[in-house]
């Protein structure tokens, strides 16, 4: 018999005070895009606790290397070369394997490869700005990229986004779906950002700041940042079903 | 003092921003050559079982304007009510149906188009059958935490009337915000983020 808790139950209720509220007027776009009625709860069904599964075979060789995946042969993206690595855990502090992690970012000048980005910083012909990977059996992931630049955005007259990488994660259930952003240790712009400041609790912001890890750096190549991510945890069905192996 | 539970807190959400498509549908926004095709773009193939349907969705903001920079993902059962995932223990889902779709809207019209099949019925935890439905997750600039909702089908009146989720809504007139009318083989689902017609969103 296995003593591990079986993975079968529904997910813990989301702590909504830890996440940014829908209506956060310092970030002006939320004003007309935030639902105002109470959210409705119901017991999770298979529609909520299951989700699509992605296999490692779908990944291309360069999917986790943004310095090369949009570059001409023999060339690479411009900017400070970094490795971002970490572990995906759940609220029970257990590693989550098989998580599809997708990421996107601006180039080293703070410009996105997107029709709607008119910032005057130039595009880098060798940088697309997207990548993906899948966590291993211990919940680990990593990718290579360049450190993105800060950029101005239309909110207040002089609002700038701190350097950041956008993350999208698929856990094992559709209600674990999460999109967030990673920031960089030591960046003074973090605490001035209206989007960061939609998060009410400073401790929640701190978990979005990746730590410089010189021990994981590759000498003469790339520095490393560690960014662990926590997805919603799952209730064990100890008292609802018999334990596996019993 | 007593023992600590040692639970972690879920990583806080941040908006997907206006450039979510670079990350999640790069081919659509002209970043080609990185992935062979955008994930979730195709849910069905020639061999998929079930009734083919098209679902067209739009999202309106509180000022009544159509939002053109959002992204919607749907998750649904196959025509027998089974989910295509190893966690499905009631049987084996149709291998020719992914059950999961991801779309950006048309940049001009704001219309999201999903080519899929009508799902079968999935049980509620107490064993009652739910009406056929799609589970939706919506992200965009100005949305700080992805929104969960469902779409039901207008021509499933009997099943909808018995659905455990629809029937628990305190304000029954709001159930209509979750039901998509049918025109031919197409269902039209309009999502309102705010206002009198605000769609029911879920905390699940
Ligand atoms: Fe950004």
Number of domain units in chain B: 1
In Å, how far from its chain's centre is CA B42?
Answer: 15
**Tokens standing for residue A50:** 């299951």
* Helix (H/G/I), strand (E/B), else coil: A203: helix
**Tokens standing for residue A183:** 């920031």
**Tokens standing for residue A207:** 């978990």
What is the per-residue DSSP string for B108-174?
Answer: TT--EEEEEE-----B-TTSPBPPPEEEEEEE-TT-SSPEEEEEEETT-HHHHHH-TTGGG-SSGGG
Q: Which of residues 69-108 of A touch B (CB under 8 A)?
A: 69-70, 89-93, 102-104
Indicate if the pLDDT at residue A240 is higher than 70.
no
Percentage of chain B exceeding pLDDT 70? 100
Indicate if the pLDDT at residue A9 is higher than 90.
no
Indicate if the pLDDT at residue B28 is higher than 60.
yes
Domain interval for residue B153: 41-192
In a domain, B168, yes or no: yes
pLDDT tens per residue across span A133-151:
999 999 999 999 999 999 9
* CB within 8 Å: B16 and A179: yes
pLDDT at position A6, please?
A: 46
The Å distance, Cα B150 to ligand 1 centre, comes to 28
Using an 8 Å CB-CB cutoff, list chain A residues near B83.
Answer: 46-47, 50
Asked if A130 reaches chain B (Cβ–Cβ under 8 Å), the answer is yes
Asked if A127 reaches chain B (Cβ–Cβ under 8 Å), the answer is no
In a domain, B68, yes or no: yes
pLDDT tens per residue across span A90-101:
999 999 999 999
pLDDT at position B6, please?
A: 87
In the block, residue with structure tokens 């703070």: A110
**Tokens standing for residue A19:** 């996440």
Asked if A16 reaches chain B (Cβ–Cβ under 8 Å), the answer is yes
In 3D, which of A208, A210, A196 has the Cα closest to residue A142? Answer: A210
pLDDT at position A5, please?
A: 46
pLDDT at position A7, please?
A: 53
- Residues listed for chain B: 204
* CB within 8 Å: A70 and B31: yes
B199: left (phi over 0), alpha (psi -120 to 50) or beta: beta
pLDDT tens per residue across span A31-75:
999 999 999 999 999 999 999 999 999 999 999 999 999 999 999
* CB within 8 Å: A47 and B75: yes
Q: Name residue A87's beta-bridge partners.
A: A140
Using CA atoms, how far residue B156 sits from A17, B42, B162, B163, B167, in Å, is 37, 25, 10, 10, 14
Mean pLDDT of B182-201: 97
Residue A226: other Cβ atoms inside 10 A: 17
* CB within 8 Å: B200 and A37: yes
**So what's the ipTM on this one?**
0.97
The Å distance, Cα B89 to ligand 1 centre, comes to 40
pLDDT tens per residue across span B96-147:
999 999 999 999 999 999 999 999 999 999 999 999 999 999 999 999 999 9
Homologous superfamily (CATH) of A49-245 is Aromatic compound dioxygenase (2.60.130.10)
Using an 8 Å CB-CB cutoff, list chain B residues near A44.
Answer: 125, 204
In a domain, B94, yes or no: yes
Q: What is the 3-state secondary structure (H, E, C) of B16-63?
A: CCCCHHHHHCCCCCCCCCCCCCCCCCCCECCCCCCCEEEEEEEEECCC
Per-chain mean pLDDT for chain A: 93
In 3D, which of A94, A184, A231 has the Cα closest to residue B9? Answer: A231
Asked if A213 reaches chain B (Cβ–Cβ under 8 Å), the answer is no
* Helix (H/G/I), strand (E/B), else coil: A57: helix
B176 or B1, greater pLDDT:
B176
Indicate if the pLDDT at residue B47 is higher than 50.
yes
Using CA atoms, how far residue B188 sits from A44, A60, B83, B113, in Å, is 26, 36, 23, 10
In a domain, B122, yes or no: yes
Using an 8 Å CB-CB cutoff, list chain B residues near A29.
Answer: 15, 141-142
Asked if A174 reaches chain B (Cβ–Cβ under 8 Å), the answer is yes
Residues with CB under 5 A from ligand 1 (ion): B 17
Helix, strand, coil content of chain A in percent (nearest 5): 10, 25, 65
Indicate if the pLDDT at residue A2 is higher than 90.
no
Cα torsion B92, B96, B102, B105: sign: negative
* CB within 8 Å: A93 and B36: no
In a domain, B204, yes or no: no
Indicate if the pLDDT at residue A243 is higher than 80.
no
Give CA–CA dist A44/A122, Å, rounded: 47
In a domain, B11, yes or no: no
Mode of pairing for the β-strands spanning A209-212 and A178-184: parallel
Q: What angle do CA A168, A169, A171 make, to 5 degrees?
A: 165
Q: Is the pTM of this model over 0.90?
A: yes
* pLDDT tier at A235, thresholds 50, 70, 90: confident
pLDDT at position A237, please?
A: 64
B130 or A240, greater pLDDT:
B130
Domain-wise residue ranges, chain A: 49-245
Tally the C-alpha atoms within 13 A of residue A128's C-alpha that lie toward its C-beta. Answer: 28
First-to-final CA distance of chain A: 7
Asked if A195 reaches chain B (Cβ–Cβ under 8 Å), the answer is yes
CATH number of the domain where residue B58 is located: 2.60.130.10
* CB within 8 Å: A39 and B201: yes
Q: Are A238 and A92 in contact (CB under 8 A)?
A: no
Searching chain B, which residue's CA lies closest to the CA of residue A44?
Answer: B204
Using an 8 Å CB-CB cutoff, list chain B residues near A112.
Answer: 19, 22
Give CA–CA dist B80/B82, Å, rounded: 6
In a domain, B169, yes or no: yes
Inter-chain contacts counted by CB atoms under 8 A, chains A and B: 255
Residue A161: other Cβ atoms inside 10 A: 24
The Å distance, Cα A94 to ligand 1 centre, comes to 29
In a domain, B52, yes or no: yes
pLDDT tens per residue across span A154-202:
999 999 999 999 999 999 999 999 999 999 999 999 999 999 999 999 9
* CB within 8 Å: B203 and A39: yes
């Amino acid at each position: 018999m296995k003593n591990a808790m079986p993975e079968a139950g529904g997910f813990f209720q989301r702590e909504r005070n830890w996440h940014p509220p829908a209506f956060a007027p310092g970030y002006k776009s939320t004003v007309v895009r935030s639902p105002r009625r109470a959210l409705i709860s119901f017991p999770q069904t298979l529609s909520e606790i299951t989700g699509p599964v992605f296999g490692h075979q779908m990944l291309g060789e360069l999917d986790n290397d943004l310095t090369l995946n949009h570059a001409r042969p023999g060339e690479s993206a411009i900017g400070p070369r970094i490795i971002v690595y970490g572990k995906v855990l759940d609220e029970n502090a257990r590693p989550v394997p098989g998580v599809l992690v997708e990421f996107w970012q601006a180039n080293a000048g703070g410009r996105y490869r997107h029709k709607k980005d008119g910032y005057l910083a130039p595009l880098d012909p060798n940088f697309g700005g997207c990548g993906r990977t899948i966590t291993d059996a211990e919940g680990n992931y990593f990718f290579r990229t360049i450190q993105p630049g800060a950029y101005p955005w239309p909110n207040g007259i002089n609002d700038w986004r701190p350097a950041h990488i956008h993350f999208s994660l698929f856990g094992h259930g559709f209600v674990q779906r999460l999109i967030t952003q990673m920031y960089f240790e030591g960046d003074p712009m973090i605490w001035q950002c209206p989007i960061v400041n939609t998060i009410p609790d400073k401790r929640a912001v701190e978990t979005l700041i990746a730590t410089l890890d010189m021990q994981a750096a590759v000498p003469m190549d790339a520095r490393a940042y560690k960014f662990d991510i926590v997805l919603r945890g799952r209730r064990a069905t100890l008292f609802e079903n018999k334990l596996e192996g019993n | 003092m007593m023992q600590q539970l040692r639970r972690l807190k879920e990583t806080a959400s941040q908006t997907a921003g206006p450039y979510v498509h670079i990350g999640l549908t790069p081919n659509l926004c002209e970043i080609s050559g990185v992935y062979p095709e955008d994930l979730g773009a195709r849910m069905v193939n020639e061999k998929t079982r079930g009734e083919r349907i098209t679902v067209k969705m739009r999202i309106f903001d509180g000022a009544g304007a159509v939002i053109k920079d959002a992204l919607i993902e749907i998750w649904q059962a196959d025509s027998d009510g089974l989910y295509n995932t190893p966690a499905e223990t009631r049987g084996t889902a149709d291998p020719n149906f992914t059950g999961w779709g991801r779309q950006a809207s048309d940049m001009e019209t704001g219309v999201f188009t999903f080519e899929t099949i009508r799902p079968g019925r999935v049980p509620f935890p107490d064993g009652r059958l739910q009406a056929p439905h799609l589970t939706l997750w919506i992200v965009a600039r100005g949305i700080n935490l992805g929104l969960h909702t469902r779409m039901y089908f207008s021509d499933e009146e009997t099943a909808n009337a018995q659905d455990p989720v629809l029937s628990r809504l305190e304000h029954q007139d709001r159930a209509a915000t979750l039901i998509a009318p049918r025109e031919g083989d197409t269902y039209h689902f309009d999502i309102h983020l705010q206002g009198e017609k605000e769609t029911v969103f879920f905390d699940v």
